Structure 1
């Protein structure tokens, strides 16, 4: 047991688990999902949404008067589904299984009917709702879209190793080609129940826990969760959950090939008047190079590259949840990224008051811990 408790010391987190803390995995999950599949949104202006999507680096696979499907360059299904709606809102998330048998097993275990997905996507789905009220689709058998041309990583000269000779380095200032959807981050006032639901039903496992400063004994306040594919390494996190006053989408992240693609793509977005929320920098948990943007409807989206990949042998790391601990290097975290800009404060205040009146994990003590995050 001692080798597990100290598993992350000096590896990717400041410390491992203490005896009796959350194990970060379920002893007997119903199934084990393979990856995140797509996110679903409603937006009133699909033309405006598509303009940003193209500048961000997506390709369009389906466009109708009421629906828009966006994809990355990797082979597979679309990774963002947009439908016309009266207001902008996050609708839900889909996870992909290895085969139809897992979808059937999950349907039987939850007494939920397996249904066919639209022909434009193909495959089958079990439609569930997590304890926070977020719709969760578990899908398989979708049509595989062919791979698109990709941006290629540059050849770098490092010290005495100089493979690039008689050639210049000129990254084009063009949209960074999105390769794939990497992860989604969500907030919930029912944090522990929601975390356990994903571990028990989808077989996901925790890579890192964060706790509010001075409140480790009260349990974690955020978890970075990956898929469990045995010896096959997967993204450090496919899903992240944070304790907060309300259930909501926080951000989603899309992989690009390297730092040059991320930075040049960011310049392209800046030139077109889009708003950078925070970046460029490198995270601690997950190690990703990051660059965060607001789309025209205010949703936070991330370009990332060079993230950590873990197999299922690593146990969770534990670290304090602090603003300064969100990045190894880069500009100071912004108020916009933390959700404490003046425009957001009235809405956040109402959410906090509603949560404190309700029956959930977001208590006055947890509020004090959250308030420490931004200043610690």
Structure 2
């Protein structure tokens, strides 16, 4: 029986003339993803889920909720009260305030003082899909909180745990930090090049639709360029689709036991798993995906790949079976096979963008592969 994962790993590189995955002399080099911003109608419900998912509340008012992880730094998620649930955009951390000033000057936007609860300065630019993107620096760093300690594992011939039992608590997995966000766009190539030029991000892996490699990639996993300092395999992932939308965001936890026991806690409290548990191919993370009460997809992850600036992009076909090395098959919920997406397909095909009939056939092939 053939291995469905053969040839899907990122060790395969680009062919001559394909996208290099980076640009020379970007405007700035973003240091990390700082936070994500949302509006939601019910902040109490959002906080209840956030607590069960493993966040700690950093700030709560009648109009705003800030959720943080245990690592020092800014809150992971900023939620403002609004008439409906909506993703407002990401904020990236710059190396310092001079980079924010440089980006604002090149983009022709104003420099803003951030709210006192966060501190620092920011500039808001807009990517080609219309998504506002903040770049921030010099914030007040929240102090570290007590974190979950990874379990001591007896693996292989190692016997580091003797006369001690494993009893991981069935409790929320304590989120350490925000890891990445995935965004779908109808103008994938233009948006990709914008992030590489404006934020100095570099591509770790490209995916293309089977049989359509000559038309270029349709998804990229993109990391921050910190030179010789390793960074997450992807801080941002972009994928081509029939609508511009948030896909999911991911939050790091201590280890597999924290992820799995935290998932049992979420199930016990009536929340819905979208897909998991498994291990990804691109990025190698152990993952578990959940729907929050407003329908946003969020991920617990641990044990992800770290790359420095020297690694060139990998190239692989996009398939549903290629989303994981092991684990249950990707669900229709995770893949976005829902009525709202079908309506978006019909609308997207009528507009002037990169999502055409050939790309639709490629996407349908992925969903059934």
Give the structure 2 partner of residue 248 of structure 1: 245
Give the structure 2 partner of residue 88 of structure 1: 85
Give the structure 2 partner of residue 150 of structure 1: 147
Give the structure 1 partner of residue 99 of structure 2: 102
Quick check: 2:39–2:82 contact (8 Å CA) kept in 1?
yes
Give the structure 1 partner of residue 341 of structure 2: 348
How far does the alpha carbon of each residue in 1:349-370 deviate from its partner, in whole angstroms, 9 at most, with x for none?
2211221111110011110010
Give the structure 2 partner of residue 280 of structure 1: 277
Give the structure 2 partner of residue 304 of structure 1: 301
Q: Secondary structure at the match of 2:162?
A: coil
| Equivalent residue for 1:369, pick from 333, 352, 362 | 362
Give the structure 2 partner of residue 116 of structure 1: 113
| Equivalent residue for 2:352, pick from 343, 359, 366 | 359
Q: Secondary structure at the match of 1:113?
A: coil
Give the structure 2 partner of residue 322 of structure 1: 319
Q: Secondary structure at the match of 2:101?
A: helix
Q: Do structure 1's residue 265 and structure 2's residue 262 form an aligned pair?
A: yes
How far does the alpha carbon of each residue in 1:152-188 deviate from its partner, in whole angstroms, 9 at most, with x for none?
0111112332111111000000100000000000000
Query: Normalising to structure 2: TM-score of the pair?
Result: 0.97
| Equivalent residue for 2:292, pick from 295, 303, 324 | 295
| Equivalent residue for 2:310, pick from 303, 310, 313 | 313
Q: Over aligned residue pairs, what C-alpha RMSD do you find? A: 1.2
Q: 1:316 to 1:369 in 2, by over 3 A?
A: same
Structure 1: how far apart are the matches of 2:91 and 2:11? 32
Give the structure 2 partner of residue 183 of structure 1: 180
Cα deviation, residue 111, structure 1: 1.0
Give the total of aligned pairs.
364
List gaps (5 residues or longer) in structure 2. 1-5
Structure 2: how far apart are the matches of 1:348 and 1:281? 25
Cα deviation, residue 12, structure 1: 5.0
Q: Structure 1 segments of 4 or more deviating over 4 A?
A: 9-12
Q: Larger deviation: 14-23 or 29-38? A: 14-23
How far does the alpha carbon of each residue in 1:106-130 deviate from its partner, in whole angstroms, 9 at most, with x for none?
0111111111001011000011111
Q: Do structure 1's residue 198 and structure 2's residue 195 form an aligned pair?
A: yes
